[in-house]
């Protein structure tokens, strides 16, 4: 399950996922500022059912390898790890808003305090990974059967929970996918192994899935706005979940077909460093978007969205290589020794890169 070949397709799938996520935030932010709709909004509209669920599904695949660890070691690797990077980049984001956006110091302190219990901005994914890991560990410790936990998680997703807490809402919406990745990992790996041996059938299946997914997303009732997608029939409870899982399996299928090609090594690399990109893409995205709009350098919404998207993808990679080359700023993407729980250091990798976290 963890041989190099299979890790390649996992990273390739994560690469596709992070591209879709950055594309969404780039297109949405441009649309919100300009009121225009670019072609990227339709790509994101198509991916709406599975874009984030697939990321969480993959994140749960290796949980079974660590869930039996003592609480201190499990918490260090699957919760403290994420919370360190969340807290660090949350402070960086808020600090940047103070310097460039005129955010008042007291308002900034208030935002920091709130962000302890409510995930901040685009970093919510990192925050929820830690929360989901702890929730799964509690269920495991309590010996709650999968056949009990999974249906309850599915009901929460189908109810479209709306509370005053963003963290609670996101837990209800996405925990089922993380837990499903954990529970169904053996079946998922067998599925991908089958795909690798039946490429022609898999390709035809992808075409069929794309047609069905597109038809249900863009069915009567759908609406594409500059910064939001209202799905058609795909939004129906139950069907939304089914399309999310089907889309996740489709991304894994596409990844299994693409990973063996050397020309796709870049996509596999992007996936292996997907959380690095996730942590740091929002700042260059905001800076370049605001600059281009204020200077009125690009008026075409399609070109503007494309430029913002490309900068948002490339800037984190440039930053990563600058840090790797100079040795300065490693703490941005590598957890320093002091950020480990003291009782969990022994036998665990020190200063492990964040990109390795989901597989450990």
C-alpha angle with apex 288: 287 to 290, nearest 5 degrees?
70
The number of beta carbons lying within 10 Å of the beta carbon of residue 234 is: 27
Question: Is the per-residue pLDDT at 228 higher than 50?
Answer: yes
Per-residue pLDDT of 60-100, as tens digits, reads 999 999 999 999 999 999 999 999 999 999 999 999 988 88
What contacts 67, CB < 8 A, 6 or more positions away?
Answer: 74, 136, 137, 140, 182
Which token pair is 320?
């990563």
Q: Which contiguous run of DSSP H or E holds residue 58? A: helix 51-59
Rounded Cα distance between 270 and 8, Å, is: 11
* d(C-alpha 81, C-alpha 330), whole Å: 15
- pLDDT at residue 351 tops 90: no
Mean pLDDT throughout 202-225? 96
Length of the chain: 360
Domains held by the chain: number: 1
User: Mind listing the pLDDT tens digit for each residue in 11-54?
Assistant: 999 999 999 999 999 999 999 999 999 999 999 999 999 999 99
CB atoms within 10 A of CB 60: 24
H/E stretch holding 91: helix 81-100
Average pLDDT over residues 339-358: 61
> In the predicted model, what is the mean pLDDT of the chain?
92
pLDDT of residue 345: 65
- The pLDDT score that the predictor gives to residue 97 is 87
Q: How confident is the model over 300-318, as pLDDT tens digits?
A: 999 999 999 999 999 999 9
DSSP readout, 31-45? HHHH----HHHHHHH
Containing structural domain, residue 269: 4-359
Structure tokens at 167: 């963290």
| Nearest CA-CA partner of 12 in 201, 176, 255 | 255
Range in 170-174, 264-268, 304-308, 340-344 the model is least confident about:
340-344
Q: And the tokens for 154?
A: 């599915």
3-state secondary structure of 230: strand
């Amino acid at each position: 399950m963890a041989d190099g070949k299979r890790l390649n397709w996992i990273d390739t799938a994560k690469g596709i996922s992070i591209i879709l996520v950055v594309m969404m935030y780039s297109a949405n932010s441009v649309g919100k500022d300009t009121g225009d709709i670019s072609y990227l909004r339709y790509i994101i509209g198509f991916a709406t059912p599975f874009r984030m669920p697939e990321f969480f599904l993959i994140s749960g695949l290796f949980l079974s390898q660590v869930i039996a660890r003592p609480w201190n070691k499990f918490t260090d690797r699957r919760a403290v790890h994420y919370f360190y990077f969340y807290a660090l980049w949350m402070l960086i984001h808020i600090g940047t808003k103070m310097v460039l956006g005129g955010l008042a110091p007291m308002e900034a302190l208030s935002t920091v305090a709130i962000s302890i219990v409510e995930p901040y901005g685009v970093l919510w994914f990192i925050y929820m990974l830690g929360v989901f890991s702890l929730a799964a560990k509690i269920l495991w410790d309590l010996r709650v059967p999968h056949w009990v936990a999974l249906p309850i998680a599915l009901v929460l997703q189908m109810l479209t929970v709306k509370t005053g807490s963003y963290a609670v809402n996101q837990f209800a919406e996405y925990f089922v996918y993380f837990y499903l990745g954990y529970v169904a990992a053996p079946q998922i790996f067998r599925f991908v192994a089958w795909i690798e041996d039946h490429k022609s059938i898999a390709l035809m299946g992808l075409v069929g899935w794309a047609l069905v997914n597109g038809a249900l997303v863009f069915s009567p009732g759908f609406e594409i706005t500059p910064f939001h997608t209202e799905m058609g029939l795909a939004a129906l409870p139950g069907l939304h979940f089914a399309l999310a899982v089907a889309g996740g399996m489709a991304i894994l299928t596409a990844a299994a077909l693409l990973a063996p090609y050397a020309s796709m090594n870049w996509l596999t690399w992007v996936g292996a460093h997907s959380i690095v990109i996730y942590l740091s893409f929002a700042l260059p995205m905001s800076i370049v978007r605001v600059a281009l709009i204020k200077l009125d350098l690009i008026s075409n919404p399609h070109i503007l969205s494309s430029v913002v998207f490309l900068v948002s993808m490339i800037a984190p990679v440039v930053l990563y290589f600058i840090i790797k080359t100079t040795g300065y700023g490693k703490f941005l993407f590598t957890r320093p020794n002091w950020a480990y729980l003291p009782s969990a250091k022994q036998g665990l990798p020190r200063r492990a890169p964040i990109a390795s976290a989901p597989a450990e």
